[in-house]
Structure 1
Amino acid sequence: MQSPLRHGRAALGTTIAGGALAALSQAPERASRVLRHRYPTVAVTGMTGVGKTRLADRLSRRASSQSSEETGKEVGSAVMERRTRRTTRLRGYRFRVVPGENAATRLGALDEVFHDEPVDGVLHVVAHGYATPRRTAGTSGAAMATRDEQLAAELEDWSITAHRIASMAVRRERPTWLVIAVTKADLFADDIAAAVDYYSPGSGSPFGDKLDELRALAGGAKLSIDVLPVCAQGGGRKSPLPDKVATEMLGRLELRLAQLSGHV
């Protein structure tokens, strides 16, 4: 018959081993929570030609390749691109740039960022109708599109993304944030306020109406929406939008991302 002392030691050993195993099993989950807190995942969405990758490069402090205007070639990617921003305070972001082309890879990327591994926030990029036109696959010659056509395409693209955001938001307890980044501000430097209003909830514009619908579906209290103008690259002091102003715009966007992510 086992002595009470020996039995007690065995029970204690079992308790300690069980606790150790439980701690080990929870370690990956805790590490994941810490990682998400310090490096939240941000989906960068928007139609092709609005400058998603270039903006993600600026935000992640990654050197961008030359623009399509400088090289005369089309840019963009048909697969999801990843960027990571790290700061000296061991904080930052993990950007997931969703391709804008309407292809199977795009739908797969949307599923990944909004369903398989839901992101912490969304940076949706628009260009106020000034997106760089892209040729349809298999065609040659210069791509042509009017501003009205680009605005219509942008709205159609947003409808697809908004549906995914709403589906993600209703499945989670914590709030979801959305920032609408109105890029290429140098092309409408005298009309920035009107552009921001066009993309704002409650504005009565086609895009504003879509945002109102999204908030109704997702729950207004669970979805914060900000609209900020931005320019990936400004010009000289005499240009419509000098580089100093473009840098200030980027700084305001970075500050808002930091606030939404709990970094400040």
Structure 2
Amino acid sequence: MQSPLRHGKAALGTTIATGALAAISQAPERASRLLRHRYPTVAVTGMTGVGKTRLADRLSRRASASSADQGGQDVGSAVMERRTRRDPRMRGYRFRVVPGENAATRLGALDEVFHDEPVDGVLHVVAWGHATPRRTGGTSGTATATREEQLAAELEDWSITAHRVASMAVRRDRPTWLVIAVTKADLFADDVDEAVRYYSPGSGSPFGDKLDELRALAGGARLSIDVLPVCAEGDGRKAAMPDLLGRLELRLAQLSGHV
């Protein structure tokens, strides 16, 4: 017959082993939560030509060639690009730049950021009709598009993304925030306020109506929406613009709990 002392030691050993196994099994989840807290994942979406990659490069402090150096109208990636921003306090962001081309790779990237590995926030990039036109594959010459055509293309592109955001938001607790980044603000410096209104919820604009629909589906209280103008370029001719990039960085830090 086993002594009470030996039985007690065995029970204690079993308890310790069980606790250790539980701690080990929970370690990956805890590490994942810590990573998400310190480095939230941000989907950078938007149609081709609005400057998503350039903006992600600036936000992640990554040097990139100018559009002129890259060939102007041929700039753009057909695959998802990844950028990481780190600061001395071991905080930052993991950016996922979704390609803007309507291709299978784009749909796959959207599935990844909104289904397979849900992001914490969305940075949707628009340009108030000033996106760089892209040539159709296999063609030559200069691509052209009217501002009205570009605005219509932006709206169609947003409809696809908004559907994915709403679908994820009703099933999960993410994303918790959405920032509409109105890029190329230097091209319409005198009309920045009007551009921001166009992309704002409750504005009555076609884009604003789409945002109102998203908030109704996702739950307005759960999904924070900001609209901020931004100029991703940093050369001398933009020097007269306010520090719009800095304002965007500050808002991202606030939304992510970094400040």
TM-score between the two structures when normalised by the length of structure 1:
0.94
Provide the C-alpha distance between the structure 2 equivalents of 1:250 and 1:214, rounded to a whole number of angstroms.
Answer: 26
Partners of 1:6 and 1:70 lie apart in 2 by 75
Task: Report the counterpart of residue 250 of structure 1 in structure 2.
Answer: 245
Q: 1:12 to 1:234 in 2, by over 3 A?
A: closer
| Cα offset, 1:42, TM superposition | 0.2
Please state how far the C-alpha of 1:234 moved relative to its aligned partner: 4.5
Question: Which amino acid is the alignment partner of residue 245 of structure 1?
Answer: M
Deviation (angstroms), 1:65: 1.5
User: Gaps (5+ residues) in structure 2?
Assistant: none
Distance 1:174 1:218 in 2: 10
Name the structure 2 match of 1:180.
Answer: 180
Give the match for residue 122 of structure 2: 122
SS at match of 1:31: helix
Paired residues of 1:48 and 1:76 also in contact (CA < 8 A): yes
**Which residue is 2:257 aligned to?**
262
CA contact (8 A) 1:233 1:243 kept: no
**4+ long deviations beyond 4 Å:** none
Amino acid at match of 2:254: Q
Contact 2:129 2:150 in 1 (8 A): yes
Q: Is the 8 A contact 1:42 1:121 kept in 2?
A: yes
The 8 Å contact of residues 129 and 147 in structure 1, kept in 2 or not, is answered as yes
Q: Is the 8 A contact 1:229 1:249 kept in 2?
A: yes
The alignment status of 1:145 with 2:141, answered yes or no, reads no
Matched, 1:59 2:59: yes
* Structure 2 Cα separation of the partners of residues 15 and 196 of structure 1: 60
| Structure 1 residue matching 2:74: 3-state secondary structure | coil
1:87 maps onto 2:87 in alignment: yes
Runs (5+) with no aligned partner, structure 1: none
Aligned residue for 2:78? 78
Residue 167 of structure 2 aligns with which residue? 167
142-151 or 38-47, which deviates more: 142-151
Taking structure 2 as the reference length, what is the TM-score of the superposition? 0.96
SS of 1:245 mapped into structure 2 = coil
Partner amino acid, structure 2, of 1:120: D
2:121, 2:175 within 8 Å by CA — same for their partners in 1?
Answer: no
Mapped contact 1:112–1:118 kept (Cα < 8 A): yes
Report the Cα distance in structure 1 between the residues aligned to 2:70 and 2:88, rounded to whole angstroms.
Answer: 33
Alignment of 1:1-264 (within 5 A): 1-68=1-68, 71-72=71-72, 74-173=74-173, 176-236=176-236, 239=237, 242-243=238-239, 245=241, 248-264=243-259
In structure 1, how many angstroms separate the alpha carbons of the residues matched to 2:215 and 2:245?
Answer: 26
Partner secondary structure for residue 93 of structure 1: strand
Q: What amino acid sits opposite 1:185 in the alignment?
A: A
Distance 2:49 2:89 in 1: 34
**Are the structure 2 counterparts of residues 70 and 36 from structure 1 closer, same or farther at C-alpha, using a change threshold of 3 Å?**
closer
Indicate the percent of aligned positions where both proteins have the same amino acid. Answer: 85
Distance 2:80 2:70 in 1: 24
The residue type paired with residue 53 of structure 1 is T
The answer to whether the 8 A contact 1:185-1:230 is kept is yes
Q: Does the C-alpha gap of structure 1 residues 67 and 245 become closer, same or farther in structure 2, counting only changes over 3 Å?
A: same
User: CA deviation digits over 1:182-237, x for unaligned, max 9?
Assistant: 0001111111010000000011111001101110111110111100000111453x
